[in-house]
A and B are shown apart, each in its own frame.
Chain A
Amino acid sequence: MLQLVDFVVRNRFFLVFVLLEVLSAWMIVRNNTYWGATYFNTSNYYVAKTLAFSNSVRDYTKLDEINADLASENAHLHAQVARLSQTNPSQLPAGYVPDSAFAARFSYTVAKVVDNETNKANNVITIDKGTAHGIKPGMGVISATGVVGKVRFCSEHYSVITSILHSNFMVSSKLVRSKEIGYAKWDGKDPNLIDMIDVSKYTKVFKGDSAVTSDQNSVFPPNIMVGKVQSVAVNPNQTFYNIVLKLATDFRNLSYVYVVQNHQLVEQENLKARTIELKK
């Protein structure tokens, strides 16, 4: 027994060192625990307030670009309204009645970006709306120019968003001209470029074609801009293209975002969960 005490006393620095390392490793691995998700990230009230203060100074210098983005979004929305009002419903298959609840399933909340990062291997964004404004983890986030990410943690007044520039985030997207569906996924290097994977090489892909969110998305509304095709390459051994997209959103200038709430998401997910249970 005395030997044990002696050993502990002699090696106490090493033991404390190991203890602290194990503690931090545990925090990294179990980053979804209740207290980790509630207090120890930038959705913490005091942390977010501090960051908001330091961000407010920088915001003034970015007002020009924000205005330009909003103006171009307005133009885009005007065009869409015009197109929608002109579409004749005769394209729909006979007997198909559009459901108004389905058409109106998305609602939007405007939020201000409090803290933003683009240079790490896994980037997150903090915004100034939280559970008090009806925001819940899992909701999609878009900006005036395109897709931004997905809500990960919420506190009462702030939320942390997994940006599209994050290693475990993928968006189901569609190429407009070739009508091919694939996944947009970041490779962790340049914050302007994103890879599009799983696009079959037996269709033609055009350079400069736009990639938008596909209809198979439950989180994002369809036809939100993801990026433009910058380069296309074919690996002879594979059946898929290597497509690089130039992101539509400049993440470095992100100031205001919209949180998208899909009112039918729960219903859709429940239905999906039942098919998985049936398979078991």
Chain B
Amino acid sequence: MVPSGSLTSTLLRKKSKEMRFVEKLKQLAARPEVKAFLRHPASWLAWVVLFSIAVKENYPFSHFPMYSGFSDRTYFYYFEQDGEPIEAKRIFKTSIPRSKKLMGNYKDEVEDAREDAKDDVIEREAAKMLLAYLRETTTQKEKYAEVLGKPITVMRKNIEFVDGKFLTEDLEIVTD
């Protein structure tokens, strides 16, 4: 006889609960329509979908979250030199959307390292990291030596839809 409230009785209760759950699963799997589904080759599609949702972004799997929600505002980053925009893709061989994704990761890194930092400080630090990465990885160092030899500014363009109109705003983030 196991005394009630003891560790053994708690474990036994937990085990019998688990066994009941497994038993229920077995009963469910034994149902003809479930059996037919599991044997059907197209059921693999459901497994792939569920697995991809679970693992999220782990190449080659992805949960493809692009455009899964909309908002009335957005932004992107671009680059300037001496107050004029520069051809980012030609110079850095990195697209503008990729620069924004990189900024997102750098912001997370800065936030993790300096928990008390304000948003504008985090963004400035991340922009510096982005510029350092782009300068280091570009394969166009010789061709665009003149541009790359001078300071470059990271700019943020905010876009907002207000009262039926699109408003844009350009903000200077940092110059290296």
Tell me if chain B binds chain A: no
Residues on B facing A (Cβ under 8 Å): none
Residues on A facing B (Cβ under 8 Å): none
